[in-house]
Structure 1
Amino acid sequence: MLNKVSPLLLISMLVSPAGAQVLEDPTRPSRTAPQASTAVAAAAVDLQLEAVLQLGASRTAVINGKTVKPGQTIQGAVIKEINPRSVVIARDENGVWKTMTLWVSQRGNVKTNAAENY
């Protein structure tokens, strides 16, 4: 009885195996990767410190063409401190405040006297 298997039954068993699993490539990124954190990281990268202006003890930064002082906000980032060659910003990422340092890309963009020309 076991020797006589219907060809139709055999083909149906081969074509649709019961309980078959689909294997996923473990090296591929997850399909449910968080999109929000990627967007926030991209926004942080879009901020570029162009210059630091200093007059006495007062400093002003030029970020993306706009002048900012400590305590002001630009594209959702709060300016925490302005150093001679960098700016420390803080950004709310899903309820967690993260700090980041922006650096002047070229040494020539740091003014030690606001009256200097670039």
Structure 2
Amino acid sequence: MNKILTGLVAAVLFLPATVIAVGDPTRPPQFAPVEVKPRAAVKRSLELQQILVAGEKRSAVINGTLVREGDTVSGARVVRITPDQVVVKIRKKHQTLSLIKRTKHSEKK
């Protein structure tokens, strides 16, 4: 019994030294630091799909979202809706969206 007790005491005394030498077994392995690159701004294209002008009611569908003047869609604020185009403001710049796609022939006049 004395030998068992001595063995247990010795094991308990030497256990912390072994744990310190090995380290925390639950700690994840150390990896090389990952270089974090800043994300480039995602450029979202705006696609005008529909315009509805009925008297004073003006609305449009942009990127599948129904919008009115003053609404925001994909980071752009709708400034003006006319029967043939929608003007949006993106980062202090105005962009005109039209249902009619411009071609080389339509620009020649």
**Normalization by structure 2: what TM-score?**
0.52
CA distance in 2, matches of 1:73, 1:55: 21
Match of 1:12 in 2: none
Cα offsets for 1:23-76 (capped at 9, x unmatched): xxxxxxxxxxxx85xx46x32xx2100010122121100101111000010011
Higher relative contact order (CA 8 A, sep 6+): 1
Q: Which runs of 4+ in 1 moved over 6 A?
A: none
Matches of 2:54 and 2:61 in 1, distance apart?
A: 14
Q: CA RMSD in A?
A: 1.8
Determine the structure 1 residue equivalent to 2:99. Answer: 104
Would you say 1:70 and 2:49 are equivalent positions? no
Within the alignment, does 1:81 sit opposite 2:80 as a pair? Answer: yes
Q: Among the aligned pairs, what percent are the same residue?
A: 40
Aligned-partner SS, 1:71: coil
Partner of residue 90, structure 1: 89
Identify unmatched segments of 5+ residues in structure 2: 1-38, 102-109
Provide the C-alpha distance between the structure 2 equivalents of 1:48 and 1:90, rounded to a whole number of angstroms: 14
Which structure has the larger Rg over C-alpha atoms? 2
Which runs of 5 or more residues in structure 1 are unaligned?
1-34, 107-118
**Corresponding position of 2:54:** 55
Query: 1:48 & 1:105 partners in 2: Cα distance?
Result: 11
Q: TM-score, normalising length from structure 1?
A: 0.48
